[in-house]
């Protein structure tokens, strides 16, 4: 038993320190948001999908500002997606193509508030080719920081 206890404790602590992968939860929420966009209901139902912090940046009377709610309009077809969860925060990365068949990656940060996953931060990355697609969930602030670091 002495041999197994350190291994069990090691696995337990290492799993607490990393993001837990879950197969469908955030992507399902994203798909519901996309359906609201297609139905033209996203402005009316924005509080069901976005945090108050995110919505501070959105002016419902400004057409350009409303693009922040209509993220799925950039995506013509999903290619793959990855998500990671840690406590009440989750990140979803969606590899896709736009209507011109150009590759892009959409990265969303979700916060779980009152048992509901809400978008809190977004980064849309137009990439050069499909080989640049992400192969794991990457939080949008990390993608943004990485790109800014490369520019300096």
CA-to-CA separations, 120 to 11, 33, 143, in angstroms, rounded: 31, 13, 15
Q: Which fold has domain 19-151?
A: Nuclear Transport Factor 2; Chain: A, (3.10.450)
Q: What are the extents of the domains in the chain?
A: 19-151
In eight-state DSSP terms, residue 130 is G
What number of other Cβ atoms are within 10 A of residue 97's Cβ?
15
Distance CA 88, CA 110 (A): 8
* 77 HSE (CA, 13 A, CB side): 7
Give the pLDDT of residue 14: 32
Along the chain (152 residues), what's the average pLDDT of each consecutive run of 10 residues?
37 36 75 94 94 92 86 91 94 95 96 95 93 95 89 85
């Amino acid at each position: 038993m002495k041999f197994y206890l350190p291994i069990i404790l090691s696995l337990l602590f290492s799993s607490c320190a990393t993001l837990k992968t879950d197969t469908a939860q955030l992507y399902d929420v994203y798909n519901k948001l996309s359906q609201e966009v297609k139905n033209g209901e996203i402005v009316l139902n924005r509080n069901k999908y976005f945090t108050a912090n995110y919505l501070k940046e959105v002016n419902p009377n400004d057409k350009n500002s409303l693009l922040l709610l209509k993220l799925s309009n950039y995506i013509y077809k999903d290619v793959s997606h990855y998500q990671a969860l840690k406590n009440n925060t989750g990140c979803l990365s969606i590899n896709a193509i736009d209507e011109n068949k150009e590759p892009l990656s959409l990265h969303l940060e979700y916060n779980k508030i009152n048992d509901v996953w809400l978008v809190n931060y977004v980064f849309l990355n137009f990439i050069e080719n499909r080989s640049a697609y992400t192969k794991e969930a990457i939080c949008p602030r990390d993608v943004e920081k990485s790109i800014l670091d490369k520019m300096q």
